[in-house]
Amino acid sequence: MKVILLQDVKSLGKKGEIVNVSDGYARNFVLPKKLGVEANSSNMNDLKLQKANADKVAQEQLEAAKELAALLEKKEVVLQMKSGEGGRAFGSISSKEIAAAAKTQCGLELDKKKIQLPEAIKALGVYEVNVKLHTKVTGKLKVKVVEEN
């Protein structure tokens, strides 16, 4: 019997796949536990519509991420920190502080987990910070660290 999986099943496959299982396995395990439905014509059409909708949503998210990346390129975030002799800073700037400053200064909602700092910012200057917006899109945000008065 052909079955469309509604959830990931460890021994069968992933959600949305059409798999061939024995009639008894389908009747006694897959269908009663709502892990899948029989692959008839109406369920196949529903699956096609769901996949088309998911593709459309994924494409819209990709476009939104590209627009945000273009917007990030034009923005600059200024952070202040205390420093000693030779511009050596006391402490460091974290991704949490960059996200908070981007929200207040630019009005951008950035997740601190998406900000990729190779190492903590511990000196004054201008830095380019990568922001992972989508699996295929990475934006660059300019972070300027100045001395606090």
> In terms of pTM, does the model score above 0.85?
no
Report how far residue 72's alpha carbon sits from residue 24's, in angstroms, rounded to the nearest whole number.
56
pLDDT tens string 50-88:
999 999 999 999 999 999 899 988 989 999 888 877 767
Residue 44 pLDDT: 92
In whole angstroms, how large is the CA radius of gyration of the chain?
A: 25
Residue 81 pLDDT: 87
Tokens coding 31: 């269908």
Residue 32 pLDDT: 95
Contact in structure between 137 and 116 (CB atoms under 8 Å): no
Q: Is 138 exposed, middle or buried (0-12, 13-18, 19+ CB in 10 A)?
A: middle
Report how far residue 17's alpha carbon sits from residue 8's, in angstroms, rounded to the nearest whole number.
9
Residue 87 pLDDT: 65
pLDDT tens for the chain, residues 1 to 149: 999 999 999 988 999 899 999 999 999 999 999 999 999 999 999 999 999 999 999 999 999 999 989 998 898 999 988 887 776 778 888 899 999 999 999 888 889 999 999 888 888 889 999 999 898 999 999 999 888 87
3-class secondary structure, 143: strand
